Amino acid sequence: MAKTERALIVLAHPDPRSYTAALKDVAVKALRERGVEVMVSDLYAMGFDPVAGPGDVTERLSTENFNLALEQGHALEKGALAADIVAEQDKVRAADLVIFQFPMWWFGFPAILKGWIDRVLSYKFAYGVGQWWDKGPFADKKAMLAITTGTPAGAYAPDGRNGDIERILWSTEAGVLAICGFQVLPAFVAYGAPWIGDAGRAKQKEAYRALLSRVDEIEPKSFHALAEFGDDLRLKPEVEPRTAGQHRG
């Protein structure tokens, strides 16, 4: 597998002294020790605006309606995307690894990070007609979720109170990362951070450091290729479902 040269860490936590921020520091250090150039987008520190809308473009395709994807695609081609979006897209272009570091809020991203996705991963940049999944624009990049949870690990077991972590992550790992083509490295989940004490957190940090110290050896998760689906957008009859997300109904 290709050596990771440049990484982007997108960080979303309101507190710079949080455990989430500390894990970001672990990642920065572990990657730099491997000679990886690391960029960090600290969304709270940047005051990043997460609300996708007319402010995202300086030139409109339609003044009657606002269709986000169509306006994004038009603005990208005209060089009319807002400056804060362009700056983030430049970082994604430069990176061959993108790590999303965040606390799990309501089984998903904090809004500021969801808005980074809504605005930065724009039409014709992160996806296009027929440019999805393995044919997506980021097929030569890797991405990984790095998550802290307030609830202990048991809740995320297959029979856990919150449900199988794999099920919870489908909407982000498949629906944000794999769909743009990213090779998805299995999420690093630091479970139950408030309940495990300093020793528990130190152990998680060490596990994270060790993981990233061999980042180029991690096997990406498997998703179906675009060509395995028919015109009806369903798996072709001869294809055996092999993800947790797709099964014969």
Residues forming contacts to its own copies in the complex (CB under 8 A) are 14-15, 17-18, 44, 50-54, 64-69, 105-112, 114-115, 117-118, 121, 132-133, 150-152, 154-155, 157-164, 167-168, 170-172, 174-176, 179, 224, 226, 229, 232-235, 241, 243-249
Token pair belonging to 44: 């709270």
> Between 38 and 147, whose beta carbon lies closer to its own copies?
147
Residue 60, amino acid? R
> Between 11 and 30, whose beta carbon lies closer to its own copies?
11
Q: Nearest approach, Cβ of 21 to its own copies (angstroms)?
A: 11
Distance CA 216, CA 195 (A): 32
> Between 38 and 144, whose beta carbon lies closer to its own copies?
144
- Please report how many Cα atoms fall inside a 13 Å half-sphere around the Cα of residue 133, on the Cβ side: 10
Q: Nearest approach, Cβ of 239 to its own copies (angstroms)?
A: 9
> Between 23 and 215, whose beta carbon lies closer to its own copies?
23
Single out the residue of 96, 175, 181, 89 nearest to residue 136, CA to CA: 181
Burial of 166 (0-12, 13-18, 19+ CB in 10 A): middle
Q: Strand, helix or coil at 45?
A: helix
